[in-house]
Amino acid sequence: MAQGELNIPSPDERQVVICLYCNKPQEVGRKTLSMTCKFCNKSLRLQHIPVKGYEARRSIETLGIVTVEKKGNVVTDRILCGGLVVRGKVKGNINSRGPVLVSPEAEIRGDITAPTLAVGAGAVLEGRYNIGPETPAAPAMKALPPANRS
Ligand SMILES: [Zn+2]
């Protein structure tokens, strides 16, 4: 007699997330909002974070999408996220697992590491960009001296 069959969660209720800190994939429930990495024991947030006003924080870290709305103004050391949409202002270094979308009216001052970057004409970007599918795990990104600009 098979018992407990009804308790097996269907595959639809699971998702694979990749730890922001140690880059190890692991399965979690689709509705999970926060968890502890099985490998490095750091706490991970999975929810999307909307920013609608001024926010000064040491860091913003989530596997979800960070959306900075038009009136949003983020001042932070770093943003670690699953994706980023900027319609307002961001000051800080960005390390995104997913696409970074920058609206024409946006303003970003900081370095950006992301697999893809889409920038609307007119957006203000000040920083260095490391764009490509291979996102190196760089726990402490040290800014190199800026290249000479002619
Ligand atoms: Zn981890």
The answer on 40 and 92 residing in a single domain is no
DSSP assignment, residue 54?
E
The answer on 92 and 20 residing in a single domain is no
Higher pLDDT, residue 10 or 19: 19
Strand partners, 79: 60, 94
In angstroms, what is the span from residue 47 Cα to ligand 1's centroid? 17
Is 143 inside any structural domain? Answer: no
pLDDT at 149 over 80: no
This prediction has a pTM of 0.79
pLDDT at 135 over 60: no
Q: What is the pLDDT of residue 133?
A: 78
How far apart are the C-alpha atoms of 125 and 80, rounded to whole Å?
Answer: 18
* Domain encompassing residue 33: 12-44
pLDDT at 1 over 60: no
The answer on 38 and 103 residing in a single domain is no
In angstroms, what is the span from residue 36 Cα to ligand 1's centroid? 8
Measure the CA angle with vertex 89, ends 86 and 91; round to 5°.
110
Residues, CB-to-ion distance under 5 Å, ligand 1: 19, 21-22, 37, 39-40
Non-local CB neighbours of 6 within 8 Å, separated by 6+ positions = none
Domain count, the chain: 2
The answer on 126 and 53 residing in a single domain is yes
39-58 pLDDT, tens digit per residue, is 999 999 999 999 999 999 99
The answer on 52 and 38 residing in a single domain is no
How far apart are the C-alpha atoms of 70 and 53, rounded to whole Å?
Answer: 9
Whole-angstrom CA distances from 61 to 83, 94, 134 are: 11, 10, 20
Q: What is the pLDDT of residue 13?
A: 85
